[in-house]
């Protein structure tokens, strides 16, 4: 039996290196301290997983990944892309919103994609989402961080799924933890992950 850990995927490594570069860190800064391995916080861990999930996105404009977690166990993941059985924008190299120069956050009815949060909710058993946490991370086309704050429709779905907390990555790479989804706009607190 092979006991060696599998090497991380090239995409995951590229995303991780881009993330570290954006934050001005060397590859060893987060994992080593005086020769000792430092474990990431749960929030950092699940945000990193959301970043890797985003690599499956089929959107031409932005890649998002989402992870629903309960009791430190992954319940479901989702990424933004066309519904099952539909042609992906990536495969036909066409985005109606991009062609019409629609700004981010507007005219979602023109978009073929299902959001990462929506896909994670659709794929999760309802009883496991109650009081869970959803983690959201995204990247722009140029691999810079995208704003991870859920849109209004996703916030409604998160609320209806009875997910208790939202943790997302902002455009500057910082992490935001929002308690009550209904008060996301005015009850946010930014924090350094523990």
Catalytic positions, written as ranges: 117
Dihedral sign (CA 13, 139, 120, 128): positive
CA dist 46 and 52 (Å) reads: 10
Question: How large is the C-alpha radius of gyration of the chain?
Answer: 17
| Alpha helix segments (H runs only) across the chain | 10-22, 42-54, 89-92, 96-99, 116-122, 126-129, 152-160
CA dist 140 and 173 (Å) reads: 12
CA dist 154 and 163 (Å) reads: 11
CB contact at 8 A, 59 and 81: yes
Q: Which of 134, 130, 99 is nearest to 120 (CA)?
A: 134
Percent helix, strand and coil across the chain, each to the nearest 5: 30, 25, 45
């Amino acid at each position: 039996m092979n006991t060696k850990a599998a090497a991380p995927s090239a995409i995951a490594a590229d995303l991780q290196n881009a993330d570290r570069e954006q934050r001005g860190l060397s590859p060893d800064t987060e994992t080593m301290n005086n020769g000792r391995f430092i474990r990431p916080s749960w929030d950092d861990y699940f945000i990193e997983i959301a970043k890797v999930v985003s690599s499956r996105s089929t959107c031409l404009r932005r890649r998002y990944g989402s992870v629903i977690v309960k009791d430190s166990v992954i319940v479901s993941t989702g990424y933004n892309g066309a519904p099952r059985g539909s042609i992906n924008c990536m495969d036909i190299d066409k985005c109606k919103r991009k062609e019409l120069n629609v700004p981010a956050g507007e005219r979602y009815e023109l978009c073929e994609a299902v959001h990462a949060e929506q896909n994670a909710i659709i794929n999760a058993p309802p009883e496991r989402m109650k009081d869970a946490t959803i983690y959201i991370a995204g990247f722009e086309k140029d691999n810079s961080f995208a704003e991870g704050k859920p849109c209004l429709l996703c916030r409604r779905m998160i609320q209806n799924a009875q997910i208790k907390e939202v943790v997302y990555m902002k455009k500057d790479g910082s992490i935001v933890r929002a308690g009550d989804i209904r008060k996301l706009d005015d009850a946010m607190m930014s924090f350094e992950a523990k």
